[in-house]
Amino acid sequence: MFEKAYARLNFKNLKIGITNLPSSFEDFTIVHLSDLHVNAKTPLPALEELVLNLNDLDIDMVALTGDLFDANPARIRAQLERLSRIKHPVYFVSGNHDLLFTRKELAREIDMLGFTLLDNRFITLKRGDEALQLVGLSDAFSRYFGIKRDPKKLFSELDAQIPSILLAHQPKDIRLAHTFPIDLQLSGHTHGGQIYPFGYVVRLFQPYLQGLHVKNKTQIFVTTGYGSWGFDFRFCVPSEVVILKLTKGEEREH
């Protein structure tokens, strides 16, 4: 029930069905990682264990859905160096804490890590003649940091015949996604409430607290995240690193 921050590495496996998933992307595997909240006190051994375990996995990519930074990058170089050792492709979208601490340097910092910044853009992954679209939004609070995002324009550029996965830090961005051809949204931000019963407060601001949900034709998975914020512990809300496997058809949880 009680979990000290970064003391455990809790992997969770989840299969998610996508109706029009191309056959070449069957069992396409994504690690959904979020809310590391790295600061000067984040223990290096915990990050080293995380990276070693990720590198041992047979996966296709890591989706890092924000709140990586919880300090000025200059203060956490050792921690960032550990994370740069992830060998898999890492696609990153900003969270509110990332914008707070690294707004002007975010693109450079993400590039230094060897990750791909997906804020307000999309890329197409190809396997032969078949494809999968990854689209990202900067954090929902972007306008407060002088960052303009235009999700309607961005989503309208997607090919509706190709499955699309949206990375967006805050679950409430589902209000934008469900009217466009988005098959799956991956989000964090909530920490699942982190300390029971704070989740009831979070639900006042976010439509989903944790887990897999469906809004119209868009599925959304909200992770409780790996790190912590404010308090260096969790209570009745375990951390998680989620291994998502895509399959054609209905979602099945294991």
Which band of pLDDT confidence, cut at 50, 70 and 90, is reported for residue 252?
Answer: very low
Residues 6+ apart with CB under 8 A from 45: none
pLDDT in tens, 189-227: 999 888 777 677 778 789 999 999 999 889 999 999 999
DSSP-assigned letters across all residues of 162-176: S-EEEE-SSGGGHHH
Q: Is the pLDDT of residue 12 over 70?
A: yes
The pLDDT of residue 249 is 79
Is the confidence at residue 254, as pLDDT, over 70? no
Q: Over 60: is that where the pLDDT of 234 sits?
A: yes
Q: How far apart, in Å, are the Cα atoms of 30 and each of 34, 87, 135?
A: 13, 13, 14
The region of weakest confidence among 26-40, 87-101, 121-135, 216-230 is 216-230
Element (H, E) at 25: none
Q: Residues 40-55: pLDDT tens digits?
A: 999 999 999 999 999 9
65 touches 34 (CB < 8 A): yes
3-state secondary structure of 222: strand
The boundaries of the domain holding residue 225 are 2-253
pLDDT tens per residue, range 54-79: 999 999 999 999 999 999 999 999 99
- Counting the structural domains of the chain, the total is 1
30 or 198, which is more confident? 30
State the Cα–Cα distance between residues 66 and 137, nearest whole angstrom.
Answer: 10
Identify the pLDDT of residue 192: 87
Residues whose CB is less than 8 angstroms from the CB of residue 170 and which lie 6 or more positions away in sequence, other chains included: 95, 96, 139, 140, 187, 189, 206
The one-letter amino acid code at 175 reads R
The pLDDT value recorded for residue 195 is: 77
Residue 196: strand, helix, or coil: coil
Work out the average pLDDT over 84-93: 98
The domain that contains 113 carries what CATH number?
3.60.21.10
Contact call for residues 45 and 79 (beta carbons, < 8 A): no
Strand partners, 130: 127
Residues of the chain with pLDDT > 90, as a percent, come to 82
pLDDT at 237 over 90: no
**Residue 250 has what pLDDT?**
61
Predicted TM-score (pTM) of the model is 0.96
